[in-house]
């Protein structure tokens, strides 16, 4: 596992619609391994290696959930809109980073009222997002504007990458910088002359899988492996029947989500590769969300797609957690799968006779 690559990706600021920092990292990381690097019309990153055989795409999305400046008060406080799915109780008193149009980073904090100033009733009520604000230490609107901040600027949680225990990684934006890191490492390591390999980092997944659709139309791949995250249910207070994934017990094959079913033959092939590499594999469904597989699988008459997810605690919050063991296991089994592909195996996946 390339920890430094994942650290750099996670600490980058790249909210949906403002993914340039991650795009730049991936260009630097893969330009020496790719035959060609390009982009779709929305800015999804597309690297190509090889030019023979079926087109095989490995896909992770670049964007993270975050915020956008919606108002600047005369006193220098910022109001904001959420981008992607947030739970208000995970937001208060967390530090954030504002990225100006010039690329400057400005620190801030989502302000919270001291308990001394709250009634007992107020303490029991969650704060509505519309009532929250960001404090950047400004004294007035002019101070804010002098920092280069304006309405429409993007805001992400503050970078905070760390190792905990023997195998845990805690960071913001693991959803889905971990998919981008896996994509990059797989693209670098796989050399299969029987396929044309595409490494894709899509934009705007968190706001409707938009980059998945545009990159699919650009590449027109014959087979797709989506790399993402999924809710780990191994913490207090979560229904372990609906959310069975555990950190350290292997990556998960997504068997169904709101927009996608996997190709059953491709799922069986992945199971074989997991057994061949002696790695554990979990399974899950997601009825209230979707991965980029939901766009790729219906592109151009339909394509074999499989979404693979790392179990992740505390998704869509300032701090999420994964296991290095799961990352390494996912890398190993997907690498094995990609090395086995050729025209015959890909054609067999699409033969429904």
Per-residue pLDDT, 103 = 93
Per-residue pLDDT, 80 = 97
Kindly state the tokens that stand for 210. 């938009």
Q: Are residues 103 and 188 in the same domain?
A: no
Q: Domain for residue 162, yes or no?
A: no
Q: Per-residue pLDDT for 123 more than 90?
A: no
Q: Domain for residue 165, yes or no?
A: no
Q: Is 208 helix (H, G, I), strand (E, B) or coil?
A: coil
Q: Domain for residue 163, yes or no?
A: no
Q: Are residues 147 and 192 in the same domain?
A: no
d(CA 10, CA 62): 10
- Strand ranges inside 249-344, DSSP E: 252-257, 282-286, 305-312, 320-323
Average pLDDT score over the chain: 96
Q: Are residues 150 and 177 in the same domain?
A: no
Kindly state the tokens that stand for 160. 């905070």
Q: 109 is in which domain, residue-wise?
A: 67-157
Q: Domain for residue 164, yes or no?
A: no
Q: Quote the pTM value.
A: 0.95
pLDDT digit string, tens, across residues 93-110: 999 999 999 999 999 999
Q: Are residues 217 and 345 in the same domain?
A: yes
Q: Are residues 108 and 182 in the same domain?
A: no
Question: How many domains is the chain built from?
Answer: 2
Q: Are residues 202 and 227 in the same domain?
A: yes
Q: Is 158 designated active site?
A: no
Q: Are residues 274 and 227 in the same domain?
A: yes
Per-residue pLDDT, 118 = 85
Q: Are residues 205 and 282 in the same domain?
A: yes
Per-residue pLDDT, 168 = 98
- Residue where one domain finishes, among candidates 157, 183, 207: 157
Residue-wise over 280-317: b if at least 16 C-beta within 10 A, else e?
Answer: ebbebebeebbbbbbbbbebeeebbbbbbbbbbbbbbb
Q: Are residues 313 and 327 in the same domain?
A: yes
Q: Are residues 204 and 232 in the same domain?
A: yes
Mean of the pLDDT values across residues 148-169?
96
Phi and psi at residue 324, in whole multiples of 5°? -60, -35
Catalytic, out of 205, 217, 278, 324: 205
Per-residue pLDDT, 323 = 98
Q: For residue 110, what is the domain's CATH number?
A: 2.40.30.40
Mean pLDDT is highest, among 86-90, 124-128, 279-283, for 279-283
Q: Are residues 113 and 9 in the same domain?
A: no
Question: How large a percentage of the chain has pLDDT more than 70?
Answer: 100
pLDDT digit string, tens, across residues 198-221: 999 999 999 999 999 999 999 999
Residue-wise over 247-256: b if at least 16 C-beta within 10 A, else e?
Answer: bbbbbbbbbe
pLDDT digit string, tens, across residues 262-308: 999 999 999 999 999 999 999 999 888 899 999 999 988 899 999 99
Contact (Cβ atoms closer than 8 angstroms) between residue 196 and residue 25: no
pLDDT digit string, tens, across residues 5-44: 999 999 999 999 999 999 999 999 999 999 999 999 999 9
Contacts of 218 (CB under 8 A, 6+ apart): 38, 40, 41, 44, 46
Q: Per-residue pLDDT for 114 more than 90?
A: no
Q: Are residues 315 and 192 in the same domain?
A: yes
Q: Domain for residue 274, yes or no?
A: yes
Question: How large a percentage of the chain has pLDDT more than 90?
Answer: 90
Q: For residue 299, what is the domain's CATH number?
A: 3.40.630.10
Name the DSSP letter for residue 245.
-
Mean of the pLDDT values across residues 328-345?
97
Q: Domain for residue 166, yes or no?
A: no
Q: Domain for residue 289, yes or no?
A: yes
Q: Domain for residue 276, yes or no?
A: yes
pLDDT digit string, tens, across residues 47-71: 999 999 999 999 999 999 999 999 9
Contact (Cβ atoms closer than 8 angstroms) between residue 68 and residue 15: yes
Contacts of 221 (CB under 8 A, 6+ apart): 55, 56, 57, 198, 296, 303
- Residue where one domain finishes, among candidates 157, 189, 207: 157
């Amino acid at each position: 596992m390339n920890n430094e690559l994942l650290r750099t990706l996670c600490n980058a600021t790249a909210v949906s619609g403002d993914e340039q920092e991650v795009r730049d990292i991936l260009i630097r990381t893969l330009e020496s391994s790719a035959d060609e690097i390009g982009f779709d019309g929305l800015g999804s990153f597309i690297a190509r290696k090889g030019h023979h055989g079926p087109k095989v795409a490995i896909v992770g999305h670049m964007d993270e959930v975050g915020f956008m400046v919606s108002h600047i008060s005369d006193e220098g406080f910022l109001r904001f809109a959420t981008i992607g799915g947030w739970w208000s109780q995970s937001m208060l008193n967390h530090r954030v980073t504002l990225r100006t149009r010039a690329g400057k980073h400005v620190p801030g904090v989502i302000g919270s009222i001291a308990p001394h100033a709250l009634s007992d009733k107020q303490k029991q009520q969650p704060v509505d997002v519309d009532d929250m604000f960001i404090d950047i230490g400004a004294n007035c609107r002019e101070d804010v504007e002098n920092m280069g901040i304006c309405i429409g600027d993007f805001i992400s949680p503050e970078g905070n990458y760390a190792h905990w225990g023997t195998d845990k990684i805690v960071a913001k934006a693991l959803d889905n910088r971990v998919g981008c890191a896996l994509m990059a490492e797989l693209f670098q390591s796989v050399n299969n002359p029987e396929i044309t390999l595409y490494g894709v980092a899509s934009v705007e997944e968190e706001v409707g899988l938009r980059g998945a659709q545009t990159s699919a139309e650009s590449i027109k791949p014959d087979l797709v492996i989506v790399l993402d995250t999924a809710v780990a249910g191994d913490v207090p207070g979560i229904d372990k029947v609906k959310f069975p994934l555990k950190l350290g017990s292997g990556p998960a094959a997504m068997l169904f989500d709101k927009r996608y079913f996997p190709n059953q033959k491709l799922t069986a092939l992945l199971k074989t590769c997991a057994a061949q590499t002696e790695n554990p594999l979990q399974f899950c469904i997601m009825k209230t969300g979707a991965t980029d597989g939901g766009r790729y699988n219906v592109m151009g008459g339909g394509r074999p797609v499989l979404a693979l997810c790392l179990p992740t605690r505390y998704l869509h919050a300032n701090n999420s957690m994964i296991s290095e063991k799961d990352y390494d296991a996912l890398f190993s089994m997907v690498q094995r799968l990609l090395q086995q592909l050729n025209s015959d195996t890909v054609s067999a996946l699409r033969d429904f006779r």
